[in-house]
Structure 1
Amino acid sequence: MGQSNTIRILDGNTFVVCEDTGDIEATPSEPTGLFSIDTRFLSTWVLTVNGERLNSLSYDDLQYFESRFFLVPGMATHYVDAKLSIIRERTVGGSFCEQLTILNHDEKPVDLEVRMDAASDFADLFQVKDEILNKKGEIYTEVESDRLRLGYRRGNFRRETIISSSMSARYDSRGFAYTVHLEPNEQWDASIDVQTHAVGPGGRDLRFGLRQHGTERLALQHDLEKWIADAPKVNSEHGRVASTYRRSLIDLAALRFSPLSLGGATLPAAGLPWFMTMFGRDSILTCLQTLPFTPQLSKTTLRILASLQGSRFDDFRDEDPGRILHEMRYGETAAFEEQPHSPYYGSVDATPLFIVLLDEYERWSGDVALVKELEQESRAALRWIDNYADLVGTGYIWYERRNTDTGLENQCWKDSWDSISYSDGTLPPFPRATCEVQGYAYDAKVRAARLAREFWGDPEFADQLEREAAELKERFNRDWWVDDGEYFALALDPDGRQCDILSSNIGHLLWSGIVEPERAEKLAAHLVGPRLFSGWGVRTLAEGEARYNPIGYHNGTIWPFDNSFIAWGLRRYGFAEEAATIANGILDAATYFDGRLPEAFGGYPRELTKFPVEYPTACSPQAWSTGTPLLLLRTMLGLEPHEGHLAVEPRLPVGMGRIEVLDIPGRWGRVDAFARGRLDLNKLAD
């Protein structure tokens, strides 16, 4: 089943992917089903009436946590005069509740056999993703008079799905059924409750307390309304900006994830369907994007990542003291150490980015208490940069996985196997050092110096960090500059040889501030030049490079999040027009996705396709794509904290019209920002 014809309903830790009839018929290779904490709790959920499958007239995606399916019996060739209507209304909030309604439109009574086939393979999400379903425990079914219990046990690891109904049903090992008699124009209703349980040692449900309001629709609706009400209001003459912003806010609400055993606090999960869990890099970058609009996400993200910071040397998990985690999983394969994500620490950028977020959060919020609370974790992160990340001894951050069976080969954000190459297309040996991570390290040291001087009472440490940052900047601008291309190399190999390809990573260097000012203009020209800029956005790899492919995951596609940080970097160095060009392209692309930017889309030239082509297996919604419009708003309006106040310096794309952002929260209380773009004279002439 392709993802294009699936319906997705989610609420933080739980999500459902199903057909447009509401049915679920999963195979080991399809991400369809009811999922929670990296386990598929329902793999079969098929409704029939009198033994006949149903067909979809339409469905409503009411909110991220609910959908409604309008169905009739029979095939498309003969349901025009259908005498029955079936409505399935589904709400997801921890587990899910399905309200089933059947209406008889006939002039005579009908007797119906209504059946729901239900089953679970309890597949680990990694098993679904890798198309390998190899269960080593026992799947069991318990039929009770008032419920059906589906379960899986392997030692202390136990997962259960418990199904019950408001109407009397006959339960069996394959599902449950109702016998229904309907008079003319009569309606029948049943509420079906599906509860999921993750049982750990001692029989305690690991998920207890994660959601404060379960599947109660009204509580979920109130939670969403409060989330939107607390965020700034965006109004715009160009309707795409306001509508895309609202879509982003709603998707951010849907992606709030509560790590187990951490008291129900939430941070952004990475994306649906594969990455509904905590990722260090993804969560931090999403918080940086959304900080002016949803600052509460940053505080909880920093605390949660600090609580799970590396404390020992563990080759299986690529863990070091001070290292910030990459990914946390709760499924069977993690529980039995068949993969290392419990948690896994194999990223080299999350650790410096942790310090960047802490400083940026304080600049916006004035939350000095959190900066003091996380001083030791910040110092540990800085020690990791200096003591454990420099695998070659050249003063840069390098990576090489120690877990060679299941660890990530590339531990930068472009983490696919072929994303780092020389200009001839060959792959460099390990260790590898990518350029943007050196920028993050520079930025982390500069920001940590401010924190040390102003809040930690350690001016000597601040001076040391500033010296180290200046030395890193000088060294980097010498070693990474590609003279004949006038840009920075994507990476270095352990011998110092450059991976001298032109990539989008140079935009992250502008954002970090590591670029010498006299070289920034060359980078800006590349970023909006024809090799990198497609018209919709900046490609991950420039057209003409050996591995360039407009639908290559990291070798030519356009990643919205990537573009948002590039635009921010361009503004930092004064290239407002170039930043606006990128913002305009990405926001144009968003309109073709109904305001929900996917993880990635094709790098084809805009004049060739006329519309952005979605990457085939892109996550949607995805956290840092969802955060992209918010960071672009900040960039276009030039919103920056300055000496305890919010500075506003707008530079909108031509033809954007008026934008207002109201009630921007921060240390200044709440303030408003306004901007107006220049008129598009060409359109006026037309």
Structure 2
Amino acid sequence: MTDGLQPFLSDRVVALSAPTQTWSGADGDMGAAPIDGVYHGDTRFIRGVELRYLDAEGLEVRPEWVRASVPAATEVRFDALLRGVDDRWPDPKVRLERVRRVADGTVSETLTVRSHLDAPLRLALRVAVTPDFSPLQEVKAGAPAPGGWTADTDAPGAVVVRRGAADLTLTAPDGEVTVAADDLRVAWTLEVPARGVAEVAWTVALHDPSLVVRGVADPAPWSVPPAPASADPRLGRWLTQALGDLEALRLALPDHPDDVFYAAGAPWFFTLFGRDSLWAARLMLPVDRSIAASTLRVLARLQGTATTPATAEQPGKIMHELRSDTLSMPGEGIELPPLYYGTVDATPLWVCLLADAARLGMPDGEVEELLPALERALAWIVESAGEDGFLDYVDETGHGLSNQGWKDSGDSIQWRDGRLADGPIALSEVQGYAYEAALGGADLLDRFGRAGGEALRAWAAGLKRRFAERFWVTTPEGRYPAIALDRDGRAVDTLTSNAGHLLGTGILEPAEEQAIAALMVAPPMSSGFGLRTLSTGAAGYWPLSYHGGSVWTHDTAIVARGMALAGRTTEARALVTGLLAAAEAFDYRVPELHAGDAASEVRAPAPYPAACRPQAWSAAAAVTAWQILRG
């Protein structure tokens, strides 16, 4: 039984155009796995779809599915044989192509029957569609609660299903649509010519007025960059898949539809996230700068203006997550308000992205418009450093996120002996982000004639000095920055990938960067398929631990990017080589995370079965790999 457990995703087929997505088996049917269904925003509108046909005896049977292919993020094709209506010879002569296409608010299927028979074929096709209307968060918790719904047949070949303010409209112009007790039925009778083709289609349009995001119809403003002539051929395949996925993950807010950002990932995170959207835009800078500017504007409009403990909002702070309603996570004791600010790193990352984008050609006028938001963000960074001079966090509500860096699971900050650290927590990488943000922000203030640059540089110098004094530890694994300081100011002594995020920020000296880079590519940290989140030398290490031994593609890419900025190109290329091996193993759609088993022990990394895919920052990691390999 899997009730109450997060659904597995690794063997399911997804098609998406945010904020709409479908999950199915390799035959295209939905309902066999807990994740299956048609989703729009934070609701599963349909939980079951079954395609059948009538064989020569008049019995309803399954097609025999032979292939599923994914020509684009928004499209999936399923191929089947219909041997129940075929002739007596062994070669199959009747084929069915099922092509599913997803757009913002619509899902359509085209069913094409191709016959090589010498005589015409009369064929009956049937589709059953089961409405659902379960909240996404309940599906994720393994406890969906389908709601009651009503159906109206408004016109021939169409039906409208409603629950509350949400509705779906199913249309099948050439079919007969009926409403049964638990589902909707579509029936067609096709006349397939001898050695000919017949085609029918059905579509669902999905509507939810509570949505706080909208899709993006315009084509992406980038093209796949050419891989270096000497590059590994896997790089081009990964880039093509990743950039297609990123195009499908674009979203906007309804009041500013031209300002695009990346949804964090499918299936759970089709919305705006501060940290995730910022990092994805930052990793994408080498091929597209426009989404960096629009992401910055979107987040600036939602920048905190008041101190509100219930939402973790503070003046100048960049938000964490936007939802249409309160987000409850059954069984985890977490309940987040619709607009939640519980993140310690989004604010310095916002400043870092603005500084990067400005250096790379973001128009001066667009940068100037964001200077007030920049000043507020910088003030939050300095003021949040507190008495000890470090940025830290603690959940003040008791039902928010207990950890508020990118490793936000409850057990992610632990000592080398496996004990959990007590908060407030000051993460090491956040100090690096803050240092980089202070210097980058100071340069922008100087460039546009604003005051405060020198004070920021002085503050950054103090932070660098304090970091050197307080964060470094020595263990049997070497000397390195601890993952964090705990509530008592003690350095939490595990070796983690967090230390790698410090590379390239400027908070370390060159010799320190060299030492950390060496640790990151050594066997305890590097799996050969990417960088482990936690060293194998830690007592809490487990290759399938969400943040305690697994490999996150974006994490590896950020560290490799920092290595390149620090001049550690050999180490950066070593990490990218591991990412290419992982990309190949996952057919170039790299999931959110995978197991940390060593490449010396397994031929391919095991999936973390509940990992999102595609995920924006995992896809954007392909651009980092391209940038490093091209030199």
Question: Given the two structures, how large is their TM-score scaled by the length of structure 1?
Answer: 0.83
For the pair 1:97 / 2:108, whether they are aligned, the reply is yes
Residue of structure 2 in register with 1:54 after alignment: 63
1:627 CA drift (Å): 1.1
Output aligned runs, 1:536-547, within 5 Å.
536-547=529-540
1:188 CA drift (Å): 2.8
Residue of structure 1 in register with 2:20 after alignment: 14
Q: Secondary structure at the match of 1:473?
A: helix
CA distance in 2, matches of 1:607, 1:79: 49
Output aligned runs, 1:279-678, within 5 Å.
279-330=273-324, 339-387=335-383, 389-390=384-385, 393-405=387-399, 407-455=400-448, 457-459=449-451, 461-484=452-475, 485-637=478-630, 650=631
1:248 CA drift (Å): 2.1
Residue of structure 2 in register with 1:677 after alignment: none
1:393 CA drift (Å): 2.3
Deviates more, 1:529-538 or 1:446-455: 529-538
Equivalent AA in structure 1 for residue 142 of structure 2: E
* Cα pair 1:38 1:331 within 8 Å, conserved: no
CA distance in 2, matches of 1:482, 1:332: 41
Residue of structure 2 in register with 1:152 after alignment: 163
For the pair 1:259 / 2:250, whether they are aligned, the reply is no
* Cα pair 1:26 1:43 within 8 Å, conserved: no
* Cα pair 2:503 2:566 within 8 Å, conserved: yes
* Cα pair 1:13 1:258 within 8 Å, conserved: no
1:341 CA drift (Å): 4.7
Residue of structure 1 in register with 2:31 after alignment: 25
Q: Secondary structure at the match of 2:468?
A: helix
Unaligned runs of 5+ in 1: 214-222, 638-649, 651-686
* Cα pair 1:400 1:431 within 8 Å, conserved: yes
Equivalent AA in structure 1 for residue 395 of structure 2: R
Which one of 43, 47, 51 corresponds to residue 43 of structure 1? 47
1:70 CA drift (Å): 1.5
Residue of structure 1 in register with 2:131 after alignment: 120
1:206 CA drift (Å): 7.2
Identity over aligned pairs, percent? 33
CA distance in 2, matches of 1:241, 1:199: 41
1:212 CA drift (Å): 4.0
CA distance in 2, matches of 1:253, 1:451: 30
CA distance in 1, matches of 2:259, 2:375: 24
Which one of 59, 63, 76 corresponds to residue 67 of structure 1? 76
* Cα pair 1:504 1:539 within 8 Å, conserved: yes
> Once the two structures are superposed, what CA deviation does each residue of 1:270-293 show, in whole Å capped at 9, x if it has no partner?
112222222111111111111010
> Once the two structures are superposed, what CA deviation does each residue of 1:456-481 show, in whole Å capped at 9, x if it has no partner?
x124x000000000000000110111
**Structure 1 pair 39–475 and aligned structure 2 pair: CA distance change class (3 A):** same
Runs of 4+ in 1 over 6 A off after TM superposition: none
Q: Secondary structure at the match of 1:588?
A: helix
CA distance in 1, matches of 2:309, 2:417: 33
CA distance in 2, matches of 1:559, 1:168: 46
Q: Secondary structure at the match of 1:170?
A: strand
Which one of 164, 169, 179 corresponds to residue 162 of structure 1? 169
* Cα pair 1:236 1:242 within 8 Å, conserved: no
Output aligned runs, 1:123-142, within 5 Å.
123-134=134-145, 138-142=148-152
Deviates more, 1:338-347 or 1:475-484: 338-347
Unaligned runs of 5+ in 2: 1-6, 55-59, 329-333
1:161 CA drift (Å): 0.8
Equivalent AA in structure 2 for residue 188 of structure 1: A
1:246 CA drift (Å): 2.1
CA distance in 1, matches of 2:27, 2:94: 15
> Once the two structures are superposed, what CA deviation does each residue of 1:516-572 show, in whole Å capped at 9, x if it has no partner?
334233212211222212233321111120101122111111222112221222233
Which one of 191, 202, 206 corresponds to residue 196 of structure 1? 206
* Cα pair 1:57 1:72 within 8 Å, conserved: yes
CA distance in 2, matches of 1:80, 1:347: 62
CA distance in 1, matches of 2:363, 2:327: 39
**Structure 1 pair 6–538 and aligned structure 2 pair: CA distance change class (3 A):** closer
Equivalent AA in structure 1 for residue 596 of structure 2: G
**Structure 1 pair 113–316 and aligned structure 2 pair: CA distance change class (3 A):** farther
Q: Secondary structure at the match of 2:133?
A: coil
RMSD of aligned alpha carbons: 2.5
CA distance in 1, matches of 2:90, 2:290: 51
* Cα pair 2:160 2:168 within 8 Å, conserved: yes
Residue of structure 2 in register with 1:171 after alignment: 178
Residue of structure 1 in register with 2:3 after alignment: none
Q: How many pairs are equivalent?
A: 605
**Structure 1 pair 279–80 and aligned structure 2 pair: CA distance change class (3 A):** farther
